Structure 1
Amino acid sequence: MTSSTTDTDSDRALGFTIPSRHARGRIVRLGPVLDTILDAHAYPAPIEALLAEALTLAALIGSTLKDAQGQLTMQAQTQSGIVTLLVCDYKGGELRGYVQYDAERLASAPENPSLFALFGAGYLAITFDQATTGERYQGIVPLDGDSLSAAAEHYFLQSEQIPTLVRVGVDCGGKEKGGKRFAGGLLLQHLPEGEVGRDRLHTRLDHPEWEHVAILGQTLQAEELSDPAIPLETLVWRLFNEEDEVRLYGDTAIVRGCRCSPDYIAQVLGKFPPEEQRAMADETGTIFVDCAFCARKFPVQAATEIVP
């Protein structure tokens, strides 16, 4: 495997396998897409960093879907935390997400609140929707670790019994970078004896092959993951250049993917009876629909006649 060179490398995901270690991985970096999603909301710094980590995880996990039209949805929620809801989803390279939070409680929290301070007794739900088969898989784990990344590791161990290492680095920018934000992530998984994904019946967390791969993965620094000057191929090469073979595959471009549009919203509202539409409308007969993902309002004219 050789490393490539580019000036900036972002908004893409890259897959790889290490055949001799029965391991697979995914590495991702977000840049302009991250800026676009975060710029739609005036999030305070702790919420911005939290959503950046969540979006990186969604891109990491979602880009492993074999079904091109499949969707990964990640939702973190609590009944008593500062953050009341966090949602991200990934579908065919399209990424989106948003956060709902209590601004007053956040203002009184420490400058860098812990995950527990943000969520309290929260949970993380990860859902896979397979478009081709119509199947849905969901796992729910508590948010009782230090980060969303730790909860994602717990999800794979508990719900899919896959030994997994997750690393995420977030850089929300500064004057020296023109305020631009970057985030990157690494996902490593062990597939012993050639078994794959959900077909596995048994795994060993102490398997020597997995211990070796995990130790190497842990050496990758957050600053390297979020640095757009380091190509993804170079990071893989740095970690595993002494392995007999590393295969790269699945180079996926990532874009901002809010699926709202005036036509779609009008189609959804058109399913409501005219009298219900008029009840939702203002004095001008206009229904304003908010999109939580992109923070846009869509005006739709309510139906004026009841069609028999």
Structure 2
Amino acid sequence: MVEDPNLSTLIDKNLSFSIPAKHCRGRAVRLGPVLEDILSAHNYPLQIRSLLAEAMCLTALLGALLKEEEAQLTLQAQTESGVISLLACDYKDGDVRGYIQFDAERLVSQPLEPSLMALFGKGYLAITFDHPEPRGRSQGIVPLEGASLAEAVQNYFMQSEQIPTVIRVALDVEDDRTVVGGLLVQHLPDGEEGKERLHVRMNHPEWEHVAIMGSSVQPEELVNPVLPLEDLLWRLFSESDEVRVLSGKPLVKGCRCSEEHIRDVIARFPKEDKEDMVDADGKISIDCAFCNRKFTISSASLNN
């Protein structure tokens, strides 16, 4: 057990773990100050704030599954007739960022805990894994159905990837802080991570035991900022022969916008398109939705 824990070591982090005897792997995540930094970029109402917090937790959980340097995980909602017109989050090497665009007038008529259908209408969630070559990109599309984003992502793994999966996310919102925590557990029969998955069974005895234990996690345990994630995993799975825990990358706000990056993006456009971007003052203005910053670049400073 950890005595007098330093909160900075217990939050804004993820852990990777495996249960070799049960052929299971998992990830545990808890976000606090980093989440607040992301949320503070916009004056989000409570419903949107809560949804983005859940999406950021899922992004960190799924991103932590990546092993290669420079690999990226992106969650993006495709919506139709919903309050939300855009949800976009991504993870890269421990850097996380997220943004939601929504109709404020339509949101007013929604309850404090609106359904996914009310928020997204007929929506779909695109889950994209960008791996370095030669693996390249893979993408899955999941309907935004169920009680939460976490349930929709869990259904994606169960139905599309045929990987028995349990995902739990909990949120604690107070006036001065927001903490979100999540747990992802998966069964990879016939070998540990990286080996071919054969004979997948949703009712496999190994998986049934782990699924029950993982599902028993309490919301207050996931968001408790003084409960080490290592201790939480031990509480849940201590009946197993062995739980191997590895620290993941520290989680930080990772908006990648900068003047240099903006210039590089603009440089890729044809000359005619760049000329169309220039305003009456001879400047090009670019807004970054993720961090709510505006970049203004003189067209004369660009190499046409």
TM-score normalised over the length of structure 1: 0.93
Give the match for residue 235 of structure 1. 232
RMSD: 1.8
Match status 1:283 vs 2:283: no
Aligned to 1:295: 292
Contact 1:278 1:285 (8 Å CA) reproduced? no
> Residue type of the partner of 1:169?
A
Bigger Cα displacement from structure 2, 86-95 vs 268-277? 268-277
Residue 159 of structure 1: CA displacement?
2.5
Counting only pairs closer than 5 Å after superposition, residues 1-308 of structure 1 correspond to structure 2 as 3-5=1-3, 6-8=5-7, 9-174=10-175, 179-194=176-191, 196=193, 199-303=196-300
What is the DSSP-based 3-state SS (H/G/I as helix, E as strand, rest coil) of the residue aligned with 1:215?
helix
Q: Are the aligned partners of 1:70 and 1:128 in contact in 2 as well (CA < 8 Å)?
A: yes
Could you tell me how far 1:120 is from its partner in structure 2?
1.7
Task: Specify whether residues 51 and 287 from structure 1 end up closer, same or farther in structure 2 by C-alpha distance, changes over 3 A only.
Answer: same
Q: Quote how far apart the aligned CAs of 1:218 are.
A: 1.1
Q: 2:233 and 2:302 mapped to 1: Cα distance?
A: 62
Deviations 1:181-232 (Å, cap 9, x if unpaired)?
A: 1111000000112154683243100011111001111111112111111111
Q: Deviations over 1:219-259 (max 9, x none)?
A: 11112111111111111111112222111114321110001
Q: Unmatched 5+ residue regions in structure 2?
A: none
1:122–1:142 Cα contact (<8 Å) kept: yes
The answer as to whether partners of 1:278 and 1:304 remain within 8 angstroms in 2 is no
Q: Is the 8 A contact 1:84 1:101 kept in 2?
A: yes
Contact 2:14 2:30 in 1 (8 A): yes
Amino acid at match of 1:4: V
Secondary structure of residue in 2 paired with 1:113: coil
Gaps of 5+ in 1: none
Q: In the alignment, is the contact (CA less than 8 A) between 2:32 and 2:180 conserved in 1?
A: yes
1:1-41 CA deviation, whole Å, 9 max, x = no partner? xx434242111100111111111111000011101000001
Contact residue 33 and residue 255 of structure 1 kept, 8 A: yes
Q: CA deviation at 1:173?
A: 2.0
Contact 1:70 1:132 in 2 (8 A): no
Which residue identity does 1:285 align to in structure 2?
A: G
Inter-partner Cα distance in structure 2 for 1:163 and 1:31: 29
CA distance in 1, matches of 2:112, 2:224: 24
> Please, what TM-score do these two structures have when normalized by structure 2?
0.94
- SS of residue in 2 equivalent to 1:253: coil
- 1:127 CA displacement: 0.6
Distance in 2 (CA, whole Å) between partners of 1:118 and 1:198 is: 39
Which whole-Å CA distance do the structure 2 matches of 1:288 and 1:158 have between them? 44
Q: Aligned pair count?
A: 301
Q: Which amino acid aligns with 2:232?
A: L
